[in-house]
């Protein structure tokens, strides 16, 4: 007891100066990389860790997925149209040691290479392909980025094109093209309707040619429809009188049968 009491003046400063400064807390989403005299000696998992103070240094690496907005890039497409395209990339660090040793600033490096990759990839496509094949372009950009960042211990999971800004003259031209396309479809549909109607009329004419009384019955039906309003003057055509005689003859023949 006396020895412990005598050692307290020495132990307390030792604990304060050499033990407590060595404790480090690593969060659940982090990993700690320990350097000793500038050399990596180990990686520490989440929780309370202790390193040799004044000798070891711990650098914490965030393993969460990071959202990286890619600013709007002025790009010339394959068919020489100038567009502004902005995108967003999602990446995460999977190897803490590589992300420290292989690259000085991971986020800035990925941002720069992402801008360059977007310009290069989109520039290979025509404007119509850029507008209609976004999924294919996103996949190709992600593949190139992922291959470029793999040596840095980074995985690019998703790349999405957010916005495509077209020049005003191109927007007007595309609007005219869409309007012309709709008019073309409308004319084609109307022409197809006229064709079907003419075919049906031709079939009807053939039937009436074989049965003349059918035409007269149609006339009677038309006059009946006109007379519903009771405000029309009906003029019987000259052939109608002959039609009455035909009907009488038809009825007489039926009675004989």
Largest CA distance in the chain: 147
pLDDT band at 211 (very low <50, low <70, confident <90, very high): low
Rounded to whole angstroms, how far apart are CA atoms 167 and 92? 35
Tell me, what's the pLDDT at 168?
75
The tally of domains found in the chain comes to: 4
Same domain, 176 and 162: no
Average pLDDT of the chain is 80
Same domain, 182 and 244: no
17 versus 219: the higher-pLDDT residue is 17
Same domain, 181 and 161: no
Give the range of the structural domain holding residue 41, as residue numbers without chain letter: 2-61
Give the CATH number for residue 75.
3.30.479.30
* Best-predicted range by mean pLDDT (136-140, 193-197, 222-226): 136-140
């Amino acid at each position: 007891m006396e020895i412990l009491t005598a050692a307290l003046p020495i132990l307390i400063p030792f604990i304060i100066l050499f033990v407590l400064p060595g404790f480090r807390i690593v969060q659940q989403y982090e990993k700690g990389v320990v350097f000793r005299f500038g050399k990596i000696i180990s990686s520490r998992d989440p929780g309370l860790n202790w390193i040799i103070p004044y000798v070891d240094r711990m650098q914490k690496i965030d393993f969460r997925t990071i959202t990286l907005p890619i600013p709007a890039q002025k790009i010339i497409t394959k068919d020489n149209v100038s567009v502004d395209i902005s995108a967003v990339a999602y990446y995460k660090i999977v190897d803490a040691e590589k992300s420290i040793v292989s690259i000085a600033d991971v986020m800035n490096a990925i941002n720069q290479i992402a801008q360059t990759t977007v310009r290069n990839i989109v520039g290979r496509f025509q404007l119509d392909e850029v507008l209609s094949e976004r999924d294919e372009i996103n996949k190709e950009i992600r593949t190139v980025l992922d291959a470029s960042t793999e040596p840095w211990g980074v995985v690019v999971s998703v790349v999405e094109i957010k916005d495509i800004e077209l020049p005003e003259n191109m927007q007007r031209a595309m609007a005219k093209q869409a309007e012309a396309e709709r008019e073309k479809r409308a004319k084609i549909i109307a022409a197809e309707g006229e064709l079907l109607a003419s075919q049906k009329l031709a079939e009807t004419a053939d039937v009436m040619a074989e049965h003349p009384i059918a035409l007269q019955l149609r006339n009677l039906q038309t006059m009946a429809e006109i007379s519903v309003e009771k405000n029309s003057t009906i003029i019987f055509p000259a052939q109608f009188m002959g039609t009455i005689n035909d009907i009488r003859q038809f009825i007489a023949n039926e009675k004989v049968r």
